[in-house]
């Protein structure tokens, strides 16, 4: 990674709120004195990082001499902070517990002459960034020489060797810095920014690529202590978790649910980290519109919330989560579909899981439902017509047992070639096994009667079947 001298990784800067200035230093648990002559009279903000966003902790106007002070009655949580004055002026700070009386002198023209007292972690960070910048400048000069098309082949080769040696030297410097500071916040922070080293730097074939992927999944968080609460107040923790879930874990509902549960388990040594990880993964999957993400929050609820002593989830929240869980607990993507014993329009009895089909679509509807009136013929005339010769069968389950209305609906929508069913005596208890809280409700089963999709509209159903059939009927 390469960093500018003033900022590590750029994130959207969004002030979510400002605390009132407390200038009574006798009562303060934290004091920050700043001297930046080049920014006199400008507004200065002290910000912090939290879950992928930046927030303003407080603000103050610099004097005509470029000086300002901020004081708080309580010591802020340990983490990564920054001074922000304008978009091109932002400086990172690392503050640990006990570093509550800090003085900053910032020389904007020559940052190497800037000083900090009261925060050794910030001092170490600035020294590190200065050294990295020097190496970056040196590397840029070598790369500039490579752009000269007139240089000899030998010169080009020599420059390549110099760049490689410089990169190796830089990496050795980073590793030594991490090792020398393993017991302080700066060292923990810096180590967390280091990606794990994969077995193959440049995989030659599919086998080596797959080995890299498996190793990466297993060791992705080797450099991060998931029980260290300070890491939640950095500009990389949130994105690391997202990258792992979205790009390293197999994008299969059960795999995602397993990975999420394992991540939460790794935080159980610290109550704060446990709460933040569980809250993040549960809330994000609850809000997600991506099919199958419900498997994540359902698994987390099973493993860590329901019937567990989680004091920060109140009874109302627990009850609401339980209600949503009851709707999907037996019909999540990847589950074996529950067999339904139903009666056809002709009076025959069928078992849904006995129907031989490459793909079986269970279609719960109500003839009086406006959306069902329009969606049903579109499903029949487009999707079914396109895929019926490729192994698709459809079972409709009428939730309204008015026999005449049912017959009228089947005839008017021209769906007599579907398997039209109902449960007039409610013996199947379909509502216990399928979420029919909204209709039409669609569940797609593969040949093995595993649920591969649910609650998909007509347009996305076509994309789904195109994918499965074009990939040789993955089951």
> How high is the pLDDT of residue 15?
38
Residues sharing a CB contact under 8 Å with residue 91, sequence separation 6 or more, in sequence order: 6, 7, 82, 83, 106
The side-by-side arrangement of strands in the sheet containing 341-344 is: 349-351, 341-344, 419-422, 392-398, 359-365, 441-445, 451-454
Identify the weakest region by mean pLDDT among 30-44, 264-278, 456-470.
456-470
Q: Could you tell me which residue, 334 or 5, shows the higher pLDDT?
A: 334
Res. 25: pLDDT tops 70:
no
Q: Model confidence over 285-302: pLDDT tens digits? A: 999 999 999 999 999 999
Residues sharing a CB contact under 8 Å with residue 462, sequence separation 6 or more, in sequence order: 382, 383, 386
Q: Using the CB atoms, write b or e for 4-31: b if 16+ within 10 Å.
A: ebbbbeebeeeeeeeeeebeeeeebebb
d(C-alpha 60, C-alpha 309), whole Å: 43
Q: Model confidence over 432-459: pLDDT tens digits? A: 999 999 999 999 999 999 999 998 888 8
Q: With contact defined as beta carbons under 8 Å apart, do 206 and 214 qualify? A: no
User: Euclidean distance between the first and final Cα of the chain, in Å?
Assistant: 41
For all residues of the chain together, what is the average pLDDT?
A: 92
Res. 127: pLDDT tops 60:
yes
At 146, the pLDDT band (50, 70, 90 cuts) reads: very high
> How high is the pLDDT of residue 143?
96
Res. 4: pLDDT tops 60:
no
d(C-alpha 182, C-alpha 177), whole Å: 8
Q: Model confidence over 204-263: pLDDT tens digits? A: 999 999 999 999 999 999 999 999 999 999 999 999 999 999 999 999 999 999 999 999
Res. 18: pLDDT tops 60:
no
> How high is the pLDDT of residue 11?
32
d(C-alpha 92, C-alpha 84), whole Å: 9
d(C-alpha 119, C-alpha 31), whole Å: 11
d(C-alpha 428, C-alpha 352), whole Å: 11
Q: What mean pLDDT is predicted for residues 74-92? A: 94
Look up the pTM and report it.
0.88
Q: What mean pLDDT is predicted for residues 379-399? A: 96
Question: Taking Cα atoms as reference points, which of 375, 447, 453 lies closest to residue 415?
Answer: 375
């Amino acid at each position: 990674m390469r960093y500018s001298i003033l900022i590590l990784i750029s994130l959207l800067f969004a002030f979510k709120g400002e605390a009132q200035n407390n200038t009574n230093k006798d009562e303060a648990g934290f004091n920050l004195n700043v001297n930046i002559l080049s920014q006199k009279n400008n507004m200065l903000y002290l910000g912090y990082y939290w879950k992928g966003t930046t927030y303003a902790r407080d603000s103050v106007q610099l004097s005509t001499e470029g000086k300002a002070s901020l004081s708080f009655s309580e010591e802020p949580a340990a983490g990564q902070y920054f001074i922000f004055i304008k978009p091109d002026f932002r400086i990172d700070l690392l503050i640990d517990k006990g570093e509550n009386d800090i003085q900053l002198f910032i020389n904007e023209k020559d940052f190497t002459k800037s000083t900090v007292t009261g925060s050794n972690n910030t001092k170490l960070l600035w020294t590190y960034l200065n050294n990295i910048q020097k190496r970056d400048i040196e590397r840029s000069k070598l790369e500039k020489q490579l752009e000269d098309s007139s240089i000899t082949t030998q010169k080009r080769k020599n420059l390549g060797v110099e760049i490689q040696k410089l990169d190796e030297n830089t990496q050795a410097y980073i590793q030594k810095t991490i090792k020398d500071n393993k017991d302080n916040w700066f060292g923990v922070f810096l180590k967390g920014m280091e990606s794990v080293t994969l077995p193959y730097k440049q995989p030659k074939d599919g086998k080596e690529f797959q080995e890299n992927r498996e190793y990466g999944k297993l060791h992705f968080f080797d450099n991060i202590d998931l029980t260290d609460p300070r890491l939640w107040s950095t500009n990389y923790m949130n994105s690391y978790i997202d990258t792992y879930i979205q790009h390293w874990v197999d994008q299969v509902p059960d795999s995602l649910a397993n990975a999420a549960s394992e991540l939460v388990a790794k935080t159980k040594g610290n109550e704060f980290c446990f709460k933040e990880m569980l809250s993040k993964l549960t809330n994000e999957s609850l809000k997600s519109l991506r099919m199958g993400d419900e498997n994540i929050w359902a698994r987390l609820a099973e493993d860590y919330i329901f019937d567990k002593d989680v004091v920060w989830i109140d009874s109302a929240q627990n009850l609401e989560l339980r209600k949503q869980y009851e709707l999907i607990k037996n019909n999540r993507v990847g589950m074996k579909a529950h067999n339904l014993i139903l009666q056809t329009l002709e009076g025959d009895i069928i078992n849904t899981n006995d129907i031989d089909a490459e793909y079986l679509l269970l279609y719960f509807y109500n003839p009086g439902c406006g959306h069902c009136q329009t969606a049903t013929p579109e499903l029949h005339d487009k999707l079914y017509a396109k895929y019926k010769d490729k192994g698709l069968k459809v079972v409709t389950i009428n939730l309204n047992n008015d026999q005449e209305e049912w017959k009228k609906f089947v005839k008017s929508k021209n769906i007599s070639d579907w398997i039209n069913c109902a449960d007039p005596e409610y013996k199947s208890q379909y509502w216990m096994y399928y979420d029919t809280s909204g209709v039409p409700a669609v569940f797609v089963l593969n040949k093995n009667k595993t649920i591969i999709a649910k609650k998909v509209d007509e347009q996305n159903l076509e994309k789904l079947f195109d994918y499965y059939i074009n990939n040789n009927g993955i089951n």
